[in-house]
Amino acid sequence: MNRNIWALHIGHLMISMNEIDDMTHIIRIDILQEERTNKWKKCTLAERLKKLIASLSDNDHEQEHLKSLLTEALSYCDMRNLVAHGTFALDCTSPFKHGEPSKYLLHSLKHSDPISESELQKLTQRIIELSADISRILSLKRMNNANDNFSDVVQN
């Protein structure tokens, strides 16, 4: 088992989920035009995602797309917790073959499904892409708002 490879995947996954976590605040402020209250700040990432999903409009194409991305992010919250709180265990799900290196899983007593290195690698790649997709939507929204504000200033 190469812990450096596991650490790389774990680090990338956690950073990308933290980016998504941070973007929930931006969505609340920039898109929903709501304040970040103390109650909001105390919510878990899953709770904030659920609230945003419920608040975004199905009648706006951008918000509908953002809602689908946030719904996907919500589906990864349990896996994020497994990665954050899990430990390594010997993979005994299949028979050992003489001479083959041992395989390991990331597991936690709070989660029923452990995750293998290859599963973690695929999951990490998707979460990195998901964070980038959400960030792109927010960047475009901010650019559009800046252009609208600039147009208003020029017209007045």
**Which pLDDT value is given to residue 154?**
47
**Which pLDDT value is given to residue 81?**
86
- List average pLDDT for each run of 10 residues in the chain, which is 156 residues long: 82 96 95 92 96 93 94 94 77 64 64 79 96 95 68 50
Q: DSSP states of 135-147 as a string?
A: HHHHHHHHHHHHH
Cβ neighbour number for residue 152 with a 10 Å cutoff: 9
**Which pLDDT value is given to residue 2?**
72
Global pTM value? 0.82
One-letter amino acid at 1 equals: M
Per-domain residue ranges for the chain? 3-151
**Which pLDDT value is given to residue 95?**
65
**Which pLDDT value is given to residue 150?**
46
Q: Are 68 and 58 a contacting pair, CB within 8 Å?
A: no
